[in-house]
Amino acid sequence: MPGQGEKLRKLVESGAHFVAAEAYSALTGRIVESVGFKAAYLGGHACSAFHYAVPDNGIFSQVEQIEQAARIAQAMNIPLIADADTLGETVADAYHFTRRYIQQGIAGIHIEDERNPKHSKYVNGLCSIEDMQARIDAAVRARRDMGADILLIARCDEMYSSEMGGGGTGSMEEAIRRGHAYGEAGADAIVFVPRPDPIPELAKAMRIPVCTLGFNIPGTAFTLSTGWGWVSAAANHLKMAKELMETGKVTSANFAFPEKYDLLGHPLYDGLVEEWAQKTGRPSRPNHAP
């Protein structure tokens, strides 16, 4: 049976564009699989905010991301791509964490070139091309030493300028130069953030597949879709919590969610319990707790 990394690689090599839909928990992973998505995606901001209530600005660790990614990957059969941030601070980190991702059944990771602390008020810039290549090379070595596949996606933030809160300068020429260098180091694909408008030109210039973060753009291999799920869940929870505090009840909640039972595997476990009860002469009933 092919591993999840191999499944994801075949999806990319098929040439048909696909969407890796947001899955920030085991249940949401089951949901995106159940509606037909071929892959899922765990963003760093989604995970840091939803599970740890901290920002994704360099304080959120790879240990924490791997912990949640493993739970999601093990709850579904489709490949999971995880945001691996900078994959640690050293090449030793990059090697170690790549091994950890592989061990937990993660199909792909993306590795970014912004220096920590990232996405903050600090004007940090990007790491050198040589350091990013070394980081990618360490991940490639870890994959080879493990004898298991994982798709390595380089994330280039050159088009994410300082004025927008990123570490790049906005140079198309530099983005192309970095993209080629990352591919030469062993990256299987590349994602440029955050704007959609330069991506068609960048995609034409690349020798490896280009994916996007949130945009479906012709000529790209796949889309990493995130933000709509966890933000909506948190906003709805806040709304209903205020409603409960102010009125003593929640009328806006949707309890009519029959798919819940199948998503949780309830029929399987109910069946096991019922079979055990019948075989051992214990009483059983036709219904279960809601």
Which has the closest alpha carbon to 211: 154, 160, 172, 171? 154
Write down the pLDDT at residue 2.
85
Q: Flag whether 122 is in a domain.
A: yes
Q: Which residues are catalytic?
A: 56
Provide the pLDDT for residue 257.
Answer: 87
- Structural domain contains residue 56: yes
The answer to whether the beta carbons of residues 149 and 188 sit under 8 Å apart is no
CA distances from 120 to 47, 59, 112, 158, 172 (A): 17, 11, 15, 16, 23
193 and 278 together in one domain = no
Two structure tokens written together for 257: 């969610």
pLDDT score of 194 more than 80: yes
- Has residue 141 been placed in a domain? yes
Q: Which of 257, 260, 230, 263 is nearest to 41 (CA)?
A: 230
Q: Are residues 227 and 269 in the same domain?
A: no
Query: For residue 14, is it within any domain?
Result: yes
Q: What is the CATH number of the domain that holds 59?
A: 3.20.20.60
What is the mean pLDDT of the segment spanning 94-119?
A: 96
Residue 98: inside a domain: yes
pLDDT at 249 over 80: yes
Print the domain residue range for 257.
253-283
Task: Answer yes or no: is pLDDT of 289 > 80.
Answer: no
Q: How many domains does the chain have?
A: 2
Mean pLDDT of the chain: 96
Q: Residues 6 or more apart from 194 whose CB is under 8 A from it?
A: 159, 160, 164, 166, 213
Which pLDDT score is estimated for 207? 97
Per-residue pLDDT tens digits for 122-170: 899 999 999 999 999 999 999 999 999 999 999 999 999 999 999 999 9
